[in-house]
Structure formats: C-alpha cells, structure tokens
C-alpha cells in the first residue's frame, strides 16, 4: 500500500507523514522487543495500549522501557523491516 502513495515520501509534507513513519517504526521496534522478550512483553504492551491516546510519545515509550531518543531502538525497528525485505527477496 505504501508504494502506491507518493505523498508519503514528500519531504514537504512532513506534518502529514510523521505519524505514519513514526507509527510504523515504533510498531516495528515493539515487535522486535516482543521477539526478544516473548510472552513477558505482553503485559508491557497492554499497558502501552491503554496509554497511547492520552500520553506523549516519550512517556508511552517509557511504559515499555523505550527511550525514543536512543538510536539503538530505531535501528532495531529498521532491522525488522530489513528482515521482511530479505524474506520477500528469498521468495522470488
């Protein structure tokens, strides 16, 4: 779906694109944490879901032990995407 939407990639529309890009990377980072922690992560994730509509990005991340200023969290997020790309390329 993202490939068909050129406006997602326009630097001039960052006010529009930020929530999508942040949300995708944040969700990928959460998934990475789940892969590392397993079922122990589920309780943290449930607390995060309860707070997402009423807290800041920083405080929501902190509920799962995420420092959103830590580049390593975002690198792990991107690694999830990289792994999906690698998996897709193996199917060809």
Per-residue pLDDT of the chain (92 residues; tens, 9 = 90+): 667 777 666 777 767 777 888 889 999 999 999 999 999 999 999 988 888 777 888 998 998 899 999 999 999 999 999 999 999 999 86
> Which pTM was predicted?
0.76
- In the chain, count of helices (H) and strands (E)? 4, 0
| The pair of three-digit structure tokens given for residue 31, joined into one six-digit string | 């998934």
Q: What is the pLDDT of residue 11?
A: 72
The whole-angstrom distance between residue 30's C-alpha and the CA centroid of its chain comes to: 6
The C-alpha atoms of residue 47 and residue 12 are separated, in whole angstroms, by 35
So what's the pLDDT on residue 63? 86
Query: Which pLDDT does position 1 carry in this prediction?
Result: 65
For the chain, report the end-to-end CA distance as a whole number of angstroms: 19
Phi, psi of 27 (to 5 degrees): -65, -40
């Amino acid at each position: 779906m993202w490939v068909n939407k050129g406006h997602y990639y326009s630097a001039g529309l960052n006010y529009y694109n930020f929530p999508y890009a942040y949300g995708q990377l944040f969700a990928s980072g959460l998934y990475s944490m789940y892969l590392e922690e397993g079922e122990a992560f589920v309780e943290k994730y449930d607390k995060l879901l309860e707070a997402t509509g009423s807290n800041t990005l920083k405080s929501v991340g902190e509920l799962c032990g995420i420092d959103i200023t830590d580049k390593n969290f975002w690198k792990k997020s991107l690694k999830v995407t990289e792994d999906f790309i690698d998996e897709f390329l193996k199917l060809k």
